[in-house]
Amino acid sequence: MSIWRKRAKKEPEGLGVAESLDKQLAALAKMRRGVADVATSRQRLDLQATELERLIAELKDQAATAAEDDGLARAARSRAAVMTDQLADITAQRDALVDQETMLKAELAQLQTRVDGFGVTAQTLAARRQAADAHRRIGESLRDLADGPD
Task: Please measure the distance between the N-terminal and C-terminal CA atoms of the chain and give it in whole angstroms.
Answer: 49
Residues 6+ apart with CB under 8 A from 100: 38
- Contact between 21 and 4 (Cβ < 8 Å): yes
- pTM comes to 0.69
State the chain's mean pLDDT as an integer: 87
Q: Per-domain residue ranges for the chain?
A: 3-147
- Per residue in 83-106, pLDDT (tens digit) is 999 999 999 999 999 999 999 999
- Per residue in 35-66, pLDDT (tens digit) is 999 999 999 999 999 999 999 999 999 988 88
Q: What is the DSSP letter of 13?
A: G
- Contact between 60 and 78 (Cβ < 8 Å): no
Report how far residue 133's alpha carbon sits from residue 139's, in angstroms, rounded to the nearest whole number: 10
Q: How far is CA 23 from the centre of its chain?
A: 15
Query: What kind and span of H or E run contains 111?
Result: helix 70-147
Q: Is the pLDDT of residue 107 over 60?
A: yes
